[in-house]
Amino acid sequence: MDSKRGQLVAEELIDEVRNALPERANDPNAILIGFTSQNMYIGAKTWRYAFGWREADARTAVVSTARMNLHYPGEPFLGENVMKIVPVIKSSDLQRSLHFYTEVLDFERKWPGHEDLEMANGVIDLVRDGAELQLSRHSGDGVFGSVNRVFVDDVDERYLTFRTRGLNTTHRPESPIHTAPVDQTWGLREFAVTDPDGNNLCFCMPKR
């Protein structure tokens, strides 16, 4: 597991499959295929994720089903009459903000391969599990210190993921939800993160 990216590494999975089944691995007539429900990427590539990877000489392949359901929970199906709101988060330094949202949090670029154009335009689009946000350095876009709520399936799992990826929870000791998930009196379990410009994302779920 690559703890920084929160993903499995395909090449390492190949080795794990072969090490778990040494007799099959040494059988020239056998083909080994491993399956995982976790997100995966290929270390030798620059791709953000991968559905599968094979090493022909080793007669071994691995398949990830994590992204095979392309319809995210809560996202409307095509054909519905819907409206989607995308929050714009103000940034004083796009590169610094990008590092926080993609390396500490786990958002991804919506338009990979267009990094130079996005930086020139002053707006970066990010996505994660059907959600979307924009980072903008334009003076008329948003205000510093904004708050946006993000509803997720499991607040505690998301909190632990961010901590593993390097989230510092000591910057706001006066705010309990910035240090750990909290059950609120209004029926939500929440924790919050603050980006380098003082903008906040509050991750929420109904209390169980």
> What structural domains and CATH numbers belong to the chain?
8-64 (no CATH), 88-206 (3.10.180.10)
Q: Which two tokens stand for residue 189?
A: 């379990």
The pairing of beta strand 60-64 with beta strand 52-55:
antiparallel
Is residue 123 over pLDDT 90? yes
Q: Which two tokens stand for residue 93?
A: 């330094």
Question: Residue 142 and residue 147: Cα distance in Å, rounded?
Answer: 11
Q: Which two tokens stand for residue 168?
A: 């510092």
pLDDT for 72 equals 47
pLDDT for 113 equals 83
The pair phi, psi for residue 46, each rounded to 5°, is: -100, 10
Question: Residue 182 and residue 204: Cα distance in Å, rounded?
Answer: 10
pLDDT for 130 equals 80
Q: From the centroid of its chain, how far is CA 84? A: 20
Where helices occur in the chain by DSSP H, the ranges are 10-20, 22-25, 94-99, 115-121, 155-164
pLDDT in tens, 52-108: 998 888 899 999 888 775 544 455 555 555 677 889 999 999 999 999 999 999 999
50 touches 42 (CB < 8 A): yes
Question: Residue 59 and residue 35: Cα distance in Å, rounded?
Answer: 15
Phi-psi region of 66 (alpha: psi -120 to 50; beta: other; left: phi over 0): alpha
- How crowded is the C-beta side of 98, counted as CA atoms within 13 Å? 16
Res. 37 pLDDT band, cuts 50 70 90: confident
User: What residue has token string 């429900």?
Assistant: 37
Q: What percent of the chain has pLDDT over 70?
A: 92
pLDDT for 79 equals 53
Is residue 147 over pLDDT 50? yes
Q: Which two tokens stand for residue 117?
A: 């154009």
Answering whether pTM is above 0.85, one says: no
Mean pLDDT for the stretch of residues 23-48: 88
∠ at Cα 108 (195, 70), nearest 5°? 135
